[in-house]
Chains A and B, each alone.
Chain A
Amino acid sequence: MDVNEKEEFSGEKRNTSYDSADNHPSDWRIPGSNPVSAPFGSYSTENLITASCSPSQMMDSFGQTLWYDPTNLQAVGYGGFSGGHPSSSSSSCFRGNMDRSLEMGWSMPNLLPPKGNGLFLPNASSFLPPSMAQLPADSGFVERAARFSLFSDMVNQPLAKPESVGLFLEGQCPSTEVNVGVAHNDASTAMKGPNVRSSEQASKPNVSEDTQSSGQKGGETSSKGFDSKKRKRNRQNSEADQSHKSEEEAENNGDKKRNDEQSPNSPGNKTNSGKQQGKQTSDPKDGYIHVRARRGQATNSHSLAERVRREKISERMKFLQDLVPGCNKVTGKAVMLDEIINYVQSLQRQVEFLSMKLATVNPQMDFNLEALLAKDVRELQLRGGSSSATPFPQNMPMVYPPLPHGFMQQTLSSIGRNISSPLSPINGGYKRQETNGWEGDLQNVIHINYGAGDVPSDPEAATASLPSSNMKVEP
């Protein structure tokens, strides 16, 4: 889990670094891919923290995305992580916090930035390149944007990423709204200086009032503008939110089935990212997740909640996709679930098989930790050809098989049978000695192997230690 933890921290640091103001996991919702690193590549590689380990390769991509939440939690300290904790604890903390702080976690990014837009840019990085080209600086849009309640949504978002916000908006909505959003973003960013919060808050009531009073067209466009994204608002904006929400609901009453959400909106992943953004701005204080209905979707609480739930599920499925090898090409829940089930079953079977193997290999079951770890190192050395004078493992003497001479015949017969695995544990230790001094000494090898070969066939004999065998083995 080293790599995993590294990426956790890297993601966390990345957020902190580019977010200047806050440890904002703007890219925390990146679905499985790591385009995040593209714009923030400098951070990601540099900020790798060598934390304790975790299943590395599997978790690489997975960790980068999934662990932003705990990393952010960690960064902020909300999740109860401690920076110095080993990765295991952090990962376990993540797991532990996952559930109860899911809501919180959604709002973690919100917590972190005291100022900033309410919009999150989950896929900011991925959207960054395309959107950059399309950022329109339209004064008319800016004006309209100023009126949009979108403004208030952006209160809790760090303004450090205007482009990404624009990108996100762009990805989210149809072009008009995008422009609006982008322009709005520009306007908001332009209007807000470093002191985002104060200005935002000052403008927020204005915006909300404007939105409310803006009448049909303005209100409609504004609501459409941010209907395309699902956002979770801060408690501070709750009043504005509710007012806006009621407006939106009034607009969206025509939409019924939540299945329609895919059709009227641009591709699902974009809406997903938008929703993710919104989710991230939820308020940790009240623990609620204020979700804004998307354009063209049902707005009753049930469908909203269901949509939130489905988004969560799809996000996790994406993480699973990264974790389970060979799931990248698979699309669709059912097939992926199938793959996951097969993978879990195969892992379980592997565990059983390996434990069976270990049981046969090592009748004494004395897996000496240091010895085994040292063995791994030694094995690499040995395979490399170097015969290092490795320290004899402590447990080896215990492993020496008792070898009554009467067993020699048996050993010979069993040698053919038990060449590989049964001999391995003893031979592990013996081999060290062999390589040290007895490379070509078949005689000694025979002695050793007699003892070794005897073990699996005669576990009882193993308990009766014979000094002779020990003498044979020792150099």
Chain B
Amino acid sequence: MKEEFLKKWQMGLQIYRPLIDNTSVSERRKAIKLSADVAMASLRKGTTCWSRALIQKTATEDNFLVRQMLSGIKAETLINKKLPKVMCHRKIVRRSKKILRRRQSRSAIEEVAAKARKLVKKKTQGLRNVVPGGEFMSNDVLLIQETLDYIVSLQTQVNVMRSIVDAAEAGSERTAYYLGKLKFAIEDG
């Protein structure tokens, strides 16, 4: 999994390399992040909801990259596919629930249970906000599944990136030492 992600990510970065004039750090970071995200999402080949949502999100920012990174028919279908219109209109739901709730009993246990349920609902809503495409997941089961997969992919992504950063920085330790020595030597002398 890691190697595949790395390969795809490299592919994405290759696309950006010709644009070597993106000298600003933020642009580079954006390029890195976008290509990493698309690589991660493409690994799932559109089987998961969050990957599709992520690809579509990045397609709005950089269609070219997405098209290049995804090979074949998949790219077209994924990009052009309309987002599922299962967006829950929370306000409407809330209002209707309020109307229904008026006639409900107010026992203590009921209230506690209702509060617990409300809390859980809030948290799931928070989770939907975090997970890409969470808004379109109609049921909780799907949401949690997607979260699982998303967490796994994020972990691979973080591991790969961290190992690269560590490898890139590995040389710095000794040179830093030498540089420090040099600096002091120059300052003293």
Contact = CB atoms under 8 A, between A and B. Distances in A.
Interface of A: 1, 52-55, 58-59, 62, 66, 86-88, 91-93, 95-96, 98-99, 102, 259, 309, 312-313, 316-317, 319-320, 323-324, 333-334, 337-338, 340-341, 343-345, 347-348, 350-352, 354-367, 369, 372-373, 375-376, 378-379, 382-383, 412, 415-416, 419-421, 423-432, 434-435, 442, 445-446, 448-449, 452-453, 459-460, 463
Contact of B175 (A337, A361, A449, A463): A449
A325 to B, nearest CB: 10
Contacts of A379: 166-167, 170
Nearest to B149: A95
What's the interface size class on B, roughly? 35 or more
A344 B47 CA distance: 20
Given A323-B148, A427-B172, A453-B179, A358 B161 contact: yes
B3 to A, nearest CB: 7
B179 A423 contact: yes
A334 B120 contact: yes
B154 A344 contact: yes
Given A53-B2, A92-B45, A356-B29, A99 B145 contact: yes
A365 B172 contact: no
A420 to B, nearest CB: 5
Nearest to A339: B123
B164 interface: yes
A149 B13 CA distance: 62
B139 to A, nearest CB: 7
Contacts of B140: 309, 313
A323 B145 CA distance: 12
B168 A425 contact: yes
B75 interface: no
A419 B29 CA distance: 20
Q: Which 10 A-B pairs have the closest CB atoms?
A: A96-B47, A431-B171, A427-B171, A337-B123, A359-B28, A379-B170, A375-B167, A424-B169, A428-B171, A354-B161
A448 B20 CA distance: 23
A3 B119 CA distance: 36
Given A88-B43, A341-B123, A313 B141 contact: yes
A87 B4 CA distance: 11
A115 to B, nearest CB: 31
A420 B145 contact: no
A416 B25 contact: no
Given A351-B33, A412-B186, A427 B175 contact: yes
5 contacts: A338-B123, A359-B29, A376-B166, A421-B172, A423-B175
B158 A354 contact: yes
B179 A323 contact: no
B89 to A, nearest CB: 22
Interface in B106-157: 113, 116, 119-120, 122-124, 126-127, 130-131, 139-142, 144-145, 147-152, 154-157
Given A259-B113, A359-B32, A333 B123 contact: yes
Contacts, number: 254
B94 to A, nearest CB: 18
B99 interface: no
B44 interface: yes
Given A91-B152, A372-B168, A376-B163, 20 more contacts: A1-B152, A92-B48, A334-B123, A345-B130, A347-B154, A348-B130, A350-B162, A359-B25, A361-B169, A364-B17, A367-B164, A369-B6, A375-B170, A383-B170, A415-B179, A424-B170, A428-B168, A428-B169, A449-B179, A460-B23
B74 interface: no
Interface string B24-35: 011011011100
Contacts of A446: 178, 182
B119 to A, nearest CB: 4
A63 to B, nearest CB: 10
Contacts of A358: 29, 32, 161, 164-165, 168
A320 B157 contact: no
Contacts of B149: 95
Contact of A344 (B17, B147, B186): B147
A313 B174 CA distance: 51
Contacts of A316: 141, 144-145, 148
A442 B174 contact: no
Given A88-B4, A316-B141, A415 B182 contact: yes
A351 B25 contact: no
Contacts of A99: 142, 145
A344 B172 contact: no
